[in-house]
Amino acid sequence: MTVGDQGKAFYDAFVSAELAKKAGDDAEAENLFRWGVSNGRQFLASIEKNVLSARESEKVPSAVTLMTKGPSHDFVLGRMYEFAAAEATRMLPKREGGYGMWEEKERAAAKILLAERRPAAFGGK
């Protein structure tokens, strides 16, 4: 996996982790989160070494490229996770109707979105 692919994949893993959480799959959420952190650390180490070419940087989500600086890699990854979690939440249906109805609609939508997004999280797209 190239550095650009890695930058996209770890961010997609963070988005997918939040979707898995919303879908009620805590084990998958933990798996995706840990994979994202591991690959995110490698990505940030590569960025520090200036390994990312201009062509490769086009693959990386703009949110990632804007947040690569901070006191530590874990701090930066925490900020990126929060941004990815907000993106995942924006992808889900808006709250309408009674709470029980909305909760089930959100869970179903999260499962569908997770199935679409998960392959990219592991570098498959």
AA identity, residue 20: A
User: Do 97 and 6 touch, CB atoms closer than 8 A?
Assistant: no
Tens digits of residue pLDDT in 18-34:
999 989 999 999 999 99
Name 33's Cβ contacts closer than 8 Å, sequence gap at least 6. Answer: 13, 14, 17, 81
Domain membership of residue 8 (yes or no) is: yes
Q: Is residue 11 part of a domain?
A: yes
Q: What is the model's pTM?
A: 0.82
Number of domains in the chain: 1
- The mean pLDDT of 95-119, rounded to a whole number, is 74
Closest residue by Cα to residue 33 from 65, 64, 10: 10
Q: Concatenated DSSP letters for 44-78?
A: HHHHHTT---HHHHTTS-HHHHHT--SSSHHHHHH
DSSP 8-state secondary structure symbol assigned to residue 97: S
Report yes or no on 9 lying in a domain: yes
What is the predicted pLDDT for the residue at 1? 80
Full residue range of the structural domain in which residue 29 is found: 3-120
Residues 48-95 have pLDDT tens digits of 888 777 887 888 888 888 888 899 999 999 999 999 999 988 888 776
Flag whether 125 is in a domain.
no
